[in-house]
Amino acid sequence: MAPNTKSFGSLIDVSSSILTSGNPRGGPVSNLKKHRFKRKKTHIKNPKRRVNMKIKSVKARQVLDSRGNPTVEVDLETAEGFFRSMVPSGASTGTHEAVELRDGNKRVYNGKGVLKAVGNVNNKIAKKVKGFDVTDQSGLDKLMCKLDGTANKGNFGANAILGVSMAACKAASASKGIPLYSYIAKLSGHKGVKLPVPQLNVINGGKHAGKENDIQENMYMPTGAKSFSEAIRMGAETYHVLRKMLKNKYGVHAIHLGDEGGFVPPIDTPQERLELMIKAVGEAGYSGKMSIALDPASSEFYYKDKGGYYMIGEKKYSSADMVDFYADLVKTFPIVSIEDGMAEDDWEGWTLMTKKLGGKIQITGDDLLVTNVERIKTAAQKKACNALLLKVNQIGSVTESIDAANMSYKNGWGVTVSHRSGETEDSFIADIAVGLDTGQIKTGAPARSERLAKYNQLLRIEEQLGKKAIYPGKKFRG
């Protein structure tokens, strides 16, 4: 007897799609075989298909992320098959983010279980969305937010709502017979042809490395590459040169990896880290082609309750002092982007930093903006930054993520799609980066499979787009 391939499909792939990552047409893995030899037709306009686009069932479960902490996984079923999403989770989180619902039972997963969120999907959301048309992404997301009834998704949890939202988006792309990134482009009003310049986190500090009063992420940006595939090669080769240098200079412990695949060497100053990074670029043969991006995550070393000062190492800084500190780094090193250079509610510091450095580099708001259109409006009015870091789980739905990106573009800002430190094998953010034509993605070092899942998906997308693919290089801000 032949196996039931539709039900079997939901068991054979735990990546971003039973999904879409292995199927160039965007359909479920269970339908991959019949499309295997049609890759060249990916971008040919499909005839109208009479497909039942309604949700048949939704099932959530608790699984583990890259740090071994629980997260929410959702399987959504339509007539096309099963579609799976996995929700990421951050370590360094902004206080204004949508609620990530945790169980709080310290005896189980140290309080980080997500069975409450899973239960909300299975017992509250599933029955309300059954029969809903997956191609009405905005309507579905608005319905779930309305059912939740709070401004920050504090009832169901953003991790519950986002899981259903992402899975529905994948199901809709399959029902249309187009790749996920193309479907997101249609949803958002973009072309969906721009590959992102990666921000490769190669040296970890701060919370990602168990350190206090420290810049959190030191990243390479291959702005001199001519294609995404060349950019990843440049990043990977330089990463391995840096690994060898760190091991020779500091010993084997220096090449231990942080949450995002970057090294955790015993280096006390940001300047020394950056000097080593530049030296590795030269030894790899990419001098002048590799830029640097920083994510200080400064809310983590801002002491608001003690007078409102920052602290790097043992030295205290005022907001103005921090701006001068960054200005000196920008003069010395090829830094093109600084994310969260100021604390999430230090609006005066943000405005000062953008005034002094915004004409030279990208000033990206993460904890400041939390992918929230209201905070983006405020930041634009105050001229507090010139770029958005887009994290789908900060806001909790695909529609709101698209809205945040489009509002940022209207302000003339750049947009960087970002992973979280607690990641999964779901490569959804690779597709949304291309679908929104952001020109930038931040998803860790070229190491650890949950990070490489995104980079590998982007390599596939670049191949599928062929001559249509655009790699922005130094014009990453659009």
Active site residues: 260, 391
Q: What is the pLDDT of residue 208?
A: 61
pTM: 0.90
Q: What is the pLDDT of residue 386?
A: 98
Residue ranges per structural domain of the chain: 5-177, 188-475
The second-level CATH assignment, the architecture, of 5-177 is 2-Layer Sandwich (3.30)
Q: What is the pLDDT of residue 6?
A: 40
One pLDDT digit (tens) per residue for the chain, 478 residues: 444 434 323 333 333 444 443 343 344 544 434 444 344 444 434 555 557 899 999 999 999 999 999 999 999 999 999 999 999 997 766 689 999 999 999 999 999 999 999 999 999 999 999 999 999 999 999 999 999 999 999 999 999 999 999 999 999 999 999 999 999 999 999 999 999 999 999 998 877 666 788 899 999 999 999 999 999 999 999 999 999 999 999 999 999 998 899 999 998 889 999 999 999 999 999 999 999 999 999 999 999 988 899 999 899 999 999 999 999 999 999 999 999 999 999 999 999 999 999 999 999 999 999 999 999 999 999 999 999 999 999 999 999 999 999 999 999 999 999 999 899 999 999 999 999 999 999 999 999 999 999 999 999 999 999 999 999 999 999 7
Q: What is the pLDDT of residue 170?
A: 98
Q: What percent of the chain has pLDDT over 70?
A: 88
**Which CATH number does the domain 188-475 belong to among 3.20.20.120, 3.40.1160.10, 3.10.100.10, 3.30.1300.10?**
3.20.20.120
And the tokens for 326? 């960054």
- pLDDT tens, residue by residue, 321-378: 999 999 999 999 999 999 999 999 999 999 999 999 999 999 999 999 999 999 999 9
Q: What is the pLDDT of residue 92?
A: 62
- pLDDT tens, residue by residue, 82-116: 999 999 997 766 689 999 999 999 999 999 999 99
